[in-house]
Every structure is written in structure tokens, then in C-alpha cells.
Amino acid sequence: RDWSSDVCSSDLKERPALVVAASGDAVLVRPIYSLDGPGRMLFGPWRRAGLNKACYVSDDRIVVEAPLHTLTRVGNLTVSEWNALQ
């Protein structure tokens, strides 16, 4: 069964993510969650990024098949912030 046919865009929740890399038609992201968990670390610049509360960035990498220009940018990390997430 093709479950993708049961999902429509109005059913999806927008979630913040850290863009690691991008190509013309996809981006590689690390998801950001509101709860801590295994493989997650505190996303230090959450306030500066305009997020409502402390968030945790995952070690997971996920390919999102969407051009970068279709995503909403909330900010850029400084070099020290980026290095802290490595």
C-alpha cells in the first residue's frame, strides 16, 4: 500500500530543522525537537533563532525533497554555534 497517498499537506506539522547541506531539489537537515531524548543536544541559539522555548537538535540526518528556496529561514548560526553542534 502507498501510504503517501493518504497524507495531504494540511495534515503535516511544520517543524524547525537545521540545514546541513542543500542541492537544487533537496536539503539535508537535522531535526529540532522540543523535548530532549537520545541522540539530541540542546540547541543553544534557540532564542536568537526565534523559537518559543528551549529545543534540542538531533544527530539524525534526514533528506527533505524540497528546494531550499521553498523553506522558511529563521536565521543563521555563527561559526562558534555551528562548531558546538558538530
Global model pTM greater than 0.75? yes
Where helices occur in 1-86 by DSSP H, the ranges are 79-84
pLDDT truncated to tens, each residue of the chain (86 aa)? 333 333 344 456 778 889 888 888 888 899 999 999 999 999 999 888 888 899 999 999 999 888 777 888 888 888 898 888 87
Biggest CA-to-CA distance, the chain: 46
Looking up cell 553542534, which residue turns up? 85
Dihedrals φ, ψ of 5, to 5°? Answer: -70, -15
